[in-house]
Amino acid sequence: PRSTRPEHSGDVTVAGVSLAETAGRFGTPVYVLDEEEVRERCRTYRTAFPEADVVYAAKAFLCRAMVHWAQEEGMGLDVCSAGELMLAVTTGFPPEKIVLHGNAKSPEDLSTAVRLGVGRIVVDSASEIARLAAIVPHGSRQQVMLRVVPGIAAGGHVKVRTGTEDQKFGLSITDGSAQHAVARVLGQPRLELVGLHCHIGSQITTVKPYVAAVRRMVGLMARIREQHGVELPQLNIGGGHGIAYRPGEESLDVPQLAARVRAELRDGCAKVKLPVPRLTIEPGRAVVGPAGICVYRVLAVKRTGSQTFVAVDGGMSDNPRPALYGVRYAPRLIGRHSTAEPRLVTVVGRHCEAGDILAEEVPLPEDVHPGDLLAVPVAGAYHLSMASGYNLVGRPPVVAVKDGTARTLVRRESLDDMNRRDVGL
Ligand code: LLP
């Protein structure tokens, strides 16, 4: 896929649209999404995994247009709440291509999923089995998968590692919970166990842990056949594919992932004489992350004894990732050309705490001043979907750019929007 990374100061265009003009027209902060880049990323997955269900993890970024693009590009959808599910289905996404996740699904999540006819529900705990079975109407069957902990440590930050026993997701193989759950689902006439699921973590940049996970899962599938005489037809290995946030960083090689996973699945299944299950993958970040750019306006520049702080008009309410995970971004000056010497600055947000730091040690021209525009590349995933209403600063809009034109997908959150739910004294 093309890079939407602004390479130079001066006027930067994405999909033929000037970022500076977009900032002027839509205001700042603004999230700009390159539609064709998103679509190309979907196609990269579909081409690399023609035999698999490629399911976009909506938690990375969701709006009606994104639902529509995923559908047009032949993807399924992974949702983890009734909210995400309703947005998708009311946009016209086929429910049978939706997978529902969640370690603690609410009664509303489960009943909405069953009522709308969601394709697969990924069961994450023993107690969920009976709860789910109880709401499936008489005479019908809900397809389910079981989320299993494969016992593999991988992922860019401890907060996004989900393949080991010391976290809240999935059923353990080691203590027998997974095997127990298999027996319980098989004992429920209204549930149809179609396969196993695992998601080992997020922002993973090497293929190896995926291969190891496939091996563990095939092993478990073989044991399930021994114990219960069933050959599960599907295997979902989750998402978690890492991307480069700054120049020079690694990203996961998707075609290589496909080749190695395919080989492991084929050989592993051949060894234990299991039919090769249909594969599902669930990429989120790698589909939208690199296709998004956030443009901020500088509001203040402060030089202290040792540091220069460049403060912008957004911050941890639209991008909580640096504060949460210590992620490092590479903001650039855009909209004007500067010949001033670069100096290392700290780019901070407008929120009322010292930890509201967007990026540290950023080389910006010495003459950076209020009114300047800063672009933060690779801002498409887990920014707006994790945005908050902190300090009652409205959430930025999402603008799609394509073929030289820009259009609003999600408008800016106004003061009115924010205060509407406050019903008074
Ligand atoms: N499937 C399941 C079951 C998941 O829990 C997730 C992400 C995905 C797929 C997609 O993972 P991806 O391909 O996007 O890495 N807020 C964190 C990331 C949390 C990921 C949660 N689960 C961040 O900003 O880095």
Summarize pLDDT for 75-115 with one digit per residue, the tens: 999 999 999 999 999 999 999 999 999 999 999 999 999 99
The CATH superfamily assigned to 13-32+289-419 is Lyase, Ornithine Decarboxylase; Chain A, domain 1 (2.40.37.10)
Residues of the chain with CATH 2.40.37.10: 13-32+289-419
For residue range 132-173, list pLDDT tens digits in order: 999 999 999 999 999 999 989 887 778 878 888 888 999 999
CA distance 285 to 405: 25
Span 227-237, average pLDDT = 97
Q: Is 285 annotated as a binding residue?
A: yes
Residues 372, 301 contacting (CB under 8 angstroms): no
**Residue-averaged pLDDT of the chain:** 95
For residue range 303-357, list pLDDT tens digits in order: 998 999 999 999 999 999 999 999 999 999 999 999 999 999 999 999 999 999 9
CATH topology of domain 35-287: TIM Barrel (3.20.20)
Predicted local distance difference test score (pLDDT) of residue 9: 60
Q: List the beta strands (DSSP E) in 152-248.
A: 171-172, 191-197, 234-236
Q: Which two tokens stand for residue 262?
A: 């395919």
Any catalytic annotation for residue 294?
no
Predicted local distance difference test score (pLDDT) of residue 165: 86
Integer CA distances (angstroms), 406 to 17, 402, 409, in order:
7, 7, 10
The residue from 42, 80, 198, 352 that is catalytic is: 352
Question: From atom 20 of ligand 1, which residue's Cα is the shortest distance away?
Answer: 202
Give the CA radius of gyration of the chain. Answer: 23
* Statement: residue 3 has pLDDT above 80: no
Residues of the chain with CATH 3.20.20.10: 35-287
Residues near ligand 1 (Cβ within 6 A): 57, 59-60, 78, 101, 160, 199, 202-203, 238-241, 282-286, 321, 325, 382, 386
Q: Which two tokens stand for residue 234?
A: 């599907």
Ligand 1 centroid from CA 16, angstroms: 31
Predicted local distance difference test score (pLDDT) of residue 166: 85
